[in-house]
Amino acid sequence: GAGVSQSPRYKVAKRGQDVALRCDPISGHVSLFWYQQALGQGPEFLTYFQNEAQLDKSGLPSDRFFAERPEGSVSTLKIQRTQQEDSAVYLCASSLQLPSGGNTIYFGEGSWLTVV
């Protein structure tokens, strides 16, 4: 497809379970972002990649969260030992070049995680 693709769209995890969320950015896009969005809130920055380099992971809420983009395209956000407060929509976004160069950031539809 032409857009940012995320999977799974919906995930219900038992507390303590590990989850992996996948993002396929638009082909050729250099920048890739992960955001966490709780109900009624704006997206909160988690981490940012430029190609395979993770330039900023300051938004990851704990060491249970880990993201990678080993070949500079597909990215995976992994959450270990999920807790109820991890329940949120996880949005992936990509842009062609550095966003401050005026390139639009395109979002995927999100992965809706519910921890029970």
Partner 1 sequence: RKEVEQDPGPFNVPEGATVAFNCTYSNSASQSFFWYRQDCRKEPKLLMSVYSSGNEDGRFTAQLNRASQYISLLIRDSKLSDSATYLCVVMKTSYDKVIFGPGTSLSVIP
Binding to partner 1, residues 69-98 (CB under 8 A): 91, 93, 98
Of 42, 63, 71, 84, the residue at the interface with partner 1 (CB under 8 A) is 42
User: Any long-range contacts for 23-29 (C-beta under 8 Å, 24+ apart)?
Assistant: 23/74, 23/75, 23/76, 23/77, 23/92, 23/94, 23/108, 24/73, 24/74, 25/73, 25/74, 25/75, 25/92, 25/94, 26/2, 26/94, 26/96, 26/106, 27/73, 28/96, 29/94, 29/95, 29/96, 29/106
Options 22, 45, 74, 80; binder of partner 1; rule CB under 8 A: 45
Q: Tell me if 99 contacts partner 1 by CB under 8 A.
A: yes
For binding to partner 1 (CB under 8 A), which residues are involved?
A: 31, 33, 35, 41-45, 48, 50, 55-56, 58, 91, 93, 98-100, 102, 104-105, 107-110
